[in-house]
Structure 1
Amino acid sequence: MGAWAQIVPLILMFVIFYFLLIRPQQKKQKKVQEMQSKLEKGDKIITIGGLHGTVHALDEGSIVIQVEDGTKLTYDRSAIREVLNQD
């Protein structure tokens, strides 16, 4: 009985950590990856650095963003934080 009394709290702590920390982070990461994979030309976006712009061109791992003054910048897809005009 003594061995079980020591193992059960450890298992219980792991279960609590999984449901409070690990699982929500995995869901958030999956949602972000899905958003980044659905990017289309013309979408209005915000990068993780706060740059607001419009998607001008897409590549497998990169994206060209056109800002208001016509400047075009190339970023990794992972730099996109939010899409403003997608539902």
Structure 2
Amino acid sequence: MSLLTILLQAAAGGQQWSGILMMVVIVAIFYFFMIRPQQKKQKEIQKAREALKAGDKVITAGGIYGKIKEIGDTYMLIEISDGVRIRVDKTSVFASAEDAQQK
């Protein structure tokens, strides 16, 4: 059933406008209480990732602590121990270690 069909059926009966109004209110509630805060949080995380530089201590999404040695276009080279380096995708870096310990 398409949206147009629903709207045409709603136009036929005045009582059904309240149902459509209720759906609009529910969508607005979901947007303001769930979607919008999540988008805001994602922007903050992205901003924090862009601020990272070589030498910063970070935590990956998998829970690995390390120090950034190199930053590429899509990856970061992280040293997790003396001489042990791993290459991870930038999006898998969760936070700087200092920020995570403060929370």
Q: TM-score, normalised by structure 2?
A: 0.76
The structure with more radius of gyration = 2
| Structure (1/2) with the larger helix percentage | 2
The equivalent residue for 1:47 is 60
| TM-align CA RMSD | 1.4
Matches within 5 A, 1:21-60: 21-60=34-73
Runs ≥4 residues deviating over 3 A: none
Flag the structure with more relative contact order, 1 or 2, with Cα contacts below 8 A and sequence separation at least 6: 1
Q: TM-score, normalised by structure 1?
A: 0.89
Once the two structures are superposed, residues 2-24 of structure 1 have per-residue CA deviations (whole angstroms, 9 ceiling, x without a partner) of 24212110111011110111111
The answer for unaligned runs of 5 or more in structure 2 is 1-13
Sequence identity (%): 34
> What amino acid maps onto 2:76 in structure 1?
I
Contact (CA 8 Å) 1:43, 1:85: kept in 2 or not? no
* Number of aligned residue pairs: 86
